[in-house]
Structure 1
């Protein structure tokens, strides 16, 4: 009993996340469950979001250069907020990468313990976006800071095996834990009452790594050949430009409340996640994939990588190359799959792991 009390002492935790409900993006929902789990474990959590910083974080619709500039300003604000606080432990969720790079720097200067939750691998993302070159002095400088940030962290949490391996390559001595995003089993449940017409849904961020253009091409090719199939797109981001003149079998619904997304996709018949064919996407496990699993509908995933491996190994859907005709073929094959729900991928189950990491 005494040993339990010593190892289970209540901690004062400074918890920074860029987004938190009522935001309804992947980062907000992931961090909501982490914070909820820590509070249920009687930890004292001071929540700090992007809205609490003097300089505000960028929007998804901002240009890459503008995002970098705003992340730096937000990082400066976080740096001084950390310096002026006193907690037992600091928790930083990334991206925004530059922001937490500066926040964790404040911890290193003051010799404070911190944990990182890494959802994208930086600074490599800057290379894929064409913002930096691998041999540039700026990239090498940022990479050096990143390795120091990883090395000094008490623990690092990440969302996929690919990212876990990348982080270990940067910092072999670091403790890197895997906690999948999962789905909220209180919201994402199978619904036998489906739309009358067979409906394929895409929801989430319409960002640079999402192939919204390819989804539109697939829908356009199926418009006349398969009039019994319709497509729905939910979300926002730069990819909206591809949805300005969609075919008649594709409807763009824009933003939707998180609770409404859950009930809507449960009435669909299939989920689809089309991403760019690059290293970033091959190592990604999109939240939407877990949420389709949660409502019990099969999934089409591109490109081939960690997400497709999960889907195929668990017989949860199909994977294809980023070619419209190949995707259409897989859609027609996958219509016959009935998966049910998979409980061990719920956020409730996944978030319980954060308590043991904090302790």
Structure 2
């Protein structure tokens, strides 16, 4: 099988799209009968080195890339258009059996549709977030405007012409199934289990894994990821204020990441005088995140209300579970129901600061209960290895191609 991956992001880039598709490509290319052609933007590093052990991977770079999320929307849009134009022409130069692309960005999905129609080659769409629904939810575009209606028409065209659509959550797949007759399958997001696993640390806990602790000299609640529109930064600030008012000892809320809401967080910490509770580290290299997770005790995934986030299962939740961290999720959502059902965390509505604190204190004050949650988190995460998920997606594709 010859697979053409049309990617807006690809390793060594460490965006959500890149860290999902990278292990998929590795899994597909590990088979002698499969060759993978990747059409992706330029990289400052030589990406082919990362795939030196995969002779079946061919990476075709184009001299463009999408502006980062600190830039204005017009700048990001124009850079995305330039990338899609170049990837479009490059993709047509290599004959493959099927194209695979991941959305967002939504324009790369539309680009792959055009490549598919011109080359008469089927394509598979992997959907991680709902677009244009995100634009409507955050009022970037009006749903009833001519442009909003045009985006909805494009969305239906992409779904209807795909060989297969894969969605990362149950809610997302149900949403897509209501809009198309194309087959839709659930391929969850997951983690690379070679990176995100529970470790031991001599410096912090005497060589014990977090699930083996008998007490907590410092209890670290960790948020990590992009500080974008979906993240409830106000709740992070409000909860830190609550911890300070309760005079809860030895509790630190640690935030790792950067993005459009970073300044809101910085100003909030200063204005509310909560720097002793809320520690903002900022952006770190992706390779450092597993170690920082292992030096924390509970993962926190606060997102704003709305359909998009109620059907979400953030990648950070999988990463926390892989490292043995119980997770607190807001608002009540698919991810929240999952962690509650499997007893690896808690979900709360936004604004329920006292309930969030009560859940966290249950774990902090009961090391035996904490160990049970941590051990279950590690076991649950085993089914979310991205290489296994990549193999599942390939089987779904093959069953429809041949």
Same fold, TM exceeding 0.5?
Answer: yes
Instruction: Please state whether the residue corresponding to 2:225 is helix, strand or coil.
Output: strand
Asked whether the equivalents of residues 76 and 99 of structure 1 are also in contact (C-alpha less than 8 Å), the reply is: no
Deviation by residue 1:55-109 (Cα, 9 ceiling, x = unmatched): 4213122233433333233222232223343222111111110232123123123
Q: Structure 2 CA distance, aligned partners of 1:334 and 1:349?
A: 31
Please say if 1:280 is aligned against 2:303: no
Q: Structure 2 CA distance, aligned partners of 1:124 and 1:201?
A: 29
**Unaligned stretches of 5+ residues in structure 1:** 1-10
Deviation by residue 1:271-327 (Cα, 9 ceiling, x = unmatched): 000001110000110011011111111100001010011011101111111113332
Task: Go from structure 1 to structure 2 and tell me whether the alpha carbon gap of 1:334 and 1:303 turns closer, same or farther (over 3 Å shift).
Answer: farther
Q: Structure 1 CA distance, aligned partners of 2:388 and 2:30?
A: 14
Alignment correspondent of 1:186: 194
Asked whether the equivalents of residues 6 and 91 of structure 2 are also in contact (C-alpha less than 8 Å), the reply is: no
Alignment correspondent of 1:104: 113
Q: Structure 2 CA distance, aligned partners of 1:154 and 1:307?
A: 28
Give the TM-score normalised by structure 2.
Answer: 0.82
Instruction: Please state whether the residue corresponding to 1:144 is helix, strand or coil.
Output: helix
1:345 to 384, 387, 396: 384
Alignment correspondent of 2:230: 209
Asked whether the equivalents of residues 132 and 139 of structure 1 are also in contact (C-alpha less than 8 Å), the reply is: yes
**Unaligned stretches of 5+ residues in structure 2:** 43-60, 206-216
Instruction: Please state whether the residue corresponding to 1:304 is helix, strand or coil.
Output: coil
Shift of 1:257: 2.5
Q: Structure 2 CA distance, aligned partners of 1:357 and 1:62?
A: 38
Asked whether the equivalents of residues 107 and 113 of structure 1 are also in contact (C-alpha less than 8 Å), the reply is: yes
Deviation by residue 1:191-242 (Cα, 9 ceiling, x = unmatched): 3545641001011111110012211221122125213100111111112112
- The residue correspondences of 1:23-172 to structure 2 (distance < 5 A) are 23-42=13-32, 43-51=34-42, 52-171=61-180
Of residues 297-306 and 224-233 in structure 1, the stretch that sits farther from structure 2 once superposed is 224-233
Asked whether the equivalents of residues 40 and 87 of structure 2 are also in contact (C-alpha less than 8 Å), the reply is: no
Q: Structure 2 CA distance, aligned partners of 1:29 and 1:268?
A: 22
Give the TM-score normalised by structure 1.
Answer: 0.91
Task: Go from structure 1 to structure 2 and tell me whether the alpha carbon gap of 1:77 and 1:48 turns closer, same or farther (over 3 Å shift).
Answer: same
Count, aligned residues: 348
Shift of 1:184: 2.1
Alignment correspondent of 2:210: none
